[in-house]
Structure formats: structure tokens, C-alpha cells
Amino acid sequence: MPFKKGQSGNPKGRPKDPISVSLREGVLDSIDKLKESLEALPVGSAYVQGLSKLLPFILPRLKEVHIIQAEDVHIQQMSDSELRNLSQLIINEYEQRPLLQA
């Protein structure tokens, strides 16, 4: 029996999964307790240590960036593999940048 247009097969909506709901509530409760515990630490080394231990779980790790100056690069003295690596780095950097409207 096909559904009529505008009517779903479940008019009350999809039932909530009790396991997902309780898990979500538990995680949110734990986050609140963690925040309270962190705020209870005295401002200083204990607070900074606690925060620094949590940050890897909150923020993604950043890739290391090497900055070179144009004066440091002597293309004529570079090997073929070094030139290939440099050109690939330049291409990757170019492709990651947003397009600018001229």
C-alpha cells in the first residue's frame, strides 16, 4: 500500500533511541562536571596542566609548518628530488588557498 503524498508512514515521527539519549545525557553531564572541576583549580600551574591535558581531545593537532625565505633557496644548487619536493609543496599550497576574485 503506497503512502499518500504529504503523509508519512510514521505520523508521530521516528521514536528516539533510549540508549542514544541516555548516552548523550551522560556525556553532557560529564562535560559539565569536567568544566566545574577545571574551574575549581587555582589559576596557575594546576589549571594550565589540566587544560593542556584536555586540549588534544578538544582541538585538532596542527601540522608543523616550515617557513623558508626566498634568499635561502638556491634553485641551481638543488638536486632533482629537492626540486620535485619543492614544486610539490608549492602546488599543494596553491591548491589549498581559496580562489581570489580579480
CB within 8 Å of 55: residues ≥ 6 apart: none
Give the start-to-end residue ranges of the domains of the chain.
18-58
Confidence check: pLDDT of 1 > 70: no
What CA–CA distances, in Å, run from 76 to 87, 88, 99? 14, 17, 31
Question: In angstroms, how far is the first alpha carbon of the chain from the final one?
Answer: 57
Whether 84 shows a pLDDT value over 80: the answer reads yes
Percent of the chain with pLDDT over 90: 1
Predicted confidence band of residue 101 (pLDDT cuts 50, 70, 90): low
C-alpha cell at 5: 503524498
What pLDDT is attached to residue 63?
Answer: 78
CA atoms of 76 and 83, how far apart (whole Å): 9
Q: What is the pTM of this model?
A: 0.34
